[in-house]
Amino acid sequence: MNNLNRKVAIIGGQRIPFTKSFSQYMRISPQDLLIPVINAVAKKYGLEGKILGDVSLGATIKSPGDWNLAREAVLGSSLDPNTPAFGVQRACGTSLDTTNLIGMKIATGQIDIGIAGGCDTNSDLPIMVSQKLSWKLLDLNKAKTFGQRLKAISKFGPGDIKLVFPAVVEPRTKLSMGEHTELMVKNWSVSREEQDQLAYESHFKAVKAQEDGFYDDLITAFQGLSKDTIVRPGTTLEKLSTLKPAFDRSDKGTLTAGNSTVFTDGASAVLLASEDYANDNNLPIQAYLKDVQVAAVDYVKGEDLLIAPATAVANMLKKNGLTLQDFDFYEIHEAFAGQVLSTLKAWEDHEYCRTKLNWDEPLGSIDRQKLNVKGGSVAIGHPFAATGARIVAQAAKILNEAGTGKRALISVCTAGGMGVTAILEN
């Protein structure tokens, strides 16, 4: 490996509008969501018909037929078919991880330019059969003679015909992410009012960003849509306060459809290159990818499922000699408003920082005016594997518009008790 440690430039990103699942993108496959995003990147930056160093794409939910999703998406795109591609899956952190992997290939001199991205859809779910029926079908498939086939068929029963739908449930606890977050907000004493306030701010900022045209050059029209459809201009604290709890339906439940992300369909991609390649090919540089860190917690033994970004950020700060306050912008993925607020409280908690994060003092608080300044996932939507690249492209544009000498912190929580975090600079 040629360890050059070259600067990794973020050129820009593109995505299709994020929309509520089971609506405008019904029956559209992950591949067909990714192709227009790749084409939009290629068109915007003059890459049509060109060979790129590599492309990394991923999806959390996909059918067995999409086992080579990234490569097939590239073959269906306007890029030269000699462009290689590979798939990645780290749940909600997938496309921040693909960004990291393409960035590392550039930093070490393996490639000069590449695309990272991801997508997810709940509107084209791979419906499976039960494991019991699957085994019996395999036995039938192996049967060679008529008698063997009859014997295999005789073992089938009415109880075998049971469809299995994909679910956002942790396999080891059988709890949904929302149920885990209910435990998390109770642990960190995060109130319903705090969650509704953050959700309101997310919509308010996203609405203003739409009205100001901030997203216009980040989104390519698709299926008759030209902007995100989950953003609600009429959101008020009063309306949010009327919604019933969605996971803990007792009077102690605080997570609602209003302060949680809804099931979302969408795709996004970001273009990265070495600084020299960008300059030599007249590609704009919006920001630089400084570092990426991942961490995990043992949620099976009682740690909060979505608290891992607190550790990843702490490790990243220590590695880079920074404090939590050394950032001009904070892009913290809002899987649930309660997750963001719990993480902020963890960074302020002396005992947690000392025992779990190995910091002598609390990391401290952030300036909330710098948090998700163009709206977050509660308002924009969260197509699991597409969120990371959406945030990277969004943060890079924010930094570019803010002027030189700025820095952004990105934090994404994921299923399985993991966190993926990054630092962007300009």
Say if CB 88 and CB 97 are below 8 A apart: yes
Tokens for 101, please give them. Answer: 């992997």
What are 40-47's contacts with CB under 8 Å, separation 24+? 40/14, 40/220, 40/269, 41/12, 41/13, 41/14, 41/115, 41/269, 41/270, 41/271, 42/77, 42/78, 42/79, 43/78, 44/12, 44/14, 45/11, 45/12, 45/271, 45/283, 47/78, 47/79, 47/271
Tokens for 56, please give them. Answer: 């990394």
Neighbouring residues of 39: CB distance < 8 A, sequence distance ≥ 6: 48, 77, 78, 220
Catalytic residue (choose from 180, 203, 333, 382): 382
Tokens for 236, please give them. Answer: 């008020």
Backbone φ and ψ of 59, nearest 5°: -145, 140
413 belongs to the catalytic site: yes
Which of helix, strand or coil describes residue 107?
Answer: helix
Say if CB 215 and CB 228 are below 8 A apart: yes
**The one-letter amino acid at 416:** G
Residue of 258, 154, 140 whose CA lies nearest to 198: 258
**The one-letter amino acid at 389:** A
Catalytic residue (choose from 92, 180, 333, 353): 92
Residue of 38, 87, 50, 36 whose CA lies nearest to 271: 38
Say if CB 8 and CB 106 are below 8 A apart: yes
From CA 92, how far away is CA 165, in angstroms rounded? 19
Catalytic residue (choose from 119, 180, 203, 413): 413
| Continuous H helices in 124-176 | 131-142, 146-154
From CA 263, how far away is CA 384, in angstroms rounded? 9
| Continuous H helices in 254-386 | 275-280, 308-320, 337-348, 350-355, 377-380
Q: To the nearest 5 percent, what fractions of the chain are helix, strand and coil?
A: 40, 20, 40
Say if CB 93 and CB 412 are below 8 A apart: yes
Tokens for 82, please give them. Answer: 């000699």
Residues annotated catalytic, as ranges:
92, 382, 413
